[in-house]
Amino acid sequence: MILTVTLNTALDITYRVPALTPHASHRVTDVTERPGGKGVNVARVLAALGHRVTVTGFAGGATGCAVRDLLARAAGVADELVPVAGPTRRTVAVVDDTTGDTTQLNEPGPPVSPAEWSNFLHAYERLLGSASAVALCGSLPPGVPVGAYAGLVRTARAAGVPVLLDTSGEPLRRGVAARPDIVKPNAEELAELTGSHEPLRATQDVRRRGARTVVASLGAAGLLALTPEGRWRAAPPAPVRGNPTGAGDSACAGLLSGLADGLSWPDRLTRAVALSAATVAAPAAGEFDRRTYEHLLSRVAVTAEASAA
């Protein structure tokens, strides 16, 4: 079983409009609702690939009930979310069908009390006992310690469970120092963490800070991976038009799926890039267009570079 942690779960709402114009009224042509948050998106993609997945984190209020109801319909995903008193947040994505651009609105998460955080830690330690890997994903809701991910990384490592970390800001900085097996920042998060806008230099810096492997998302340019076994770049043959929301989460799912299936790093990166691009082509986060995915699997270019320092 692969465990995904989403401390700031969400109800993802996607609106599609013919064209998004500031200061104007819009007629929405399509609405979708999905259980969301980065780790939940990762879990749904993993389940679609045939893996057993458990999601944990927090859920509360009417929105939390809606998230759990939708999760109950997701085949292959087990719900181990921990109840909180506050309402789960909503995120709203508005997709402009003319340009393909997406405007994202993210609510803050519910405040988490010390007792609720303690309940989560007990659940997390229990779930690690049957986990083959764990993904720690997304932002922290109010009340959760800024060093939370660092502690969760250490707990996973003590249990012998490989851990992937995908967050940003101070939680990322502290989490990297706890020595996660994989860190997956995007270019902006890399620059914020290291002060460098050159991805190779930045990934080397993150490895020196403690991460065993760094896989950087570079948008349409694909992924740059710095591992103990070597360094690779992986990219789709051409940019894919659509909604990029959740593409990074699908890349995480590809990396974890490849780990679970015992794939080499080049094959893991191929899967991650193909899934990421196929998610851009899908209508909502946490989904991927299977036809695009299968088409890209043999077309992703993976280039080996000099061994990592």
Length of the chain: 309
Helix axes 199-209, 187-194, angle to 10 degrees: 60
Give the residue numbers annotated as catalytic, written as ranges: 249
Q: Which among 229, 246, 286, 244 is positioned nearest to 70, based on CA atoms?
A: 286
In whole angstroms, what is the distance from residue 234 CA to residue 225 CA?
8
Buried b / exposed e across 208-247, counting CB within 10 Å, b at 16+? eeebebbbbbeeeebbbbbbeeebbbbbbeeebebbbbbb
Strands (E), 7-155: 10-17, 30-36, 53-59, 77-79, 82-83, 89-96, 102-106, 133-137
In whole angstroms, what is the distance from residue 211 CA to residue 141 CA?
24
Secondary structure of 142-171 as H, E, C letters:
CCCCCCHHHHHHHHHHHCCCCEEEECCHHH
Q: Which among 2, 274, 294, 243 is positioned nearest to 135, based on CA atoms?
A: 2
In whole angstroms, what is the distance from residue 119 CA to residue 3 CA?
17
Cβ atoms of residues 67 and 89 within 8 Å: no
In whole angstroms, what is the distance from residue 293 CA to residue 69 CA?
28
Kindly report the CA angle at 55 between 115 and 227, in degrees rounded to 5? 110
Residue in this structure with the two tokens 């991910």, named with its chain if needed: 149
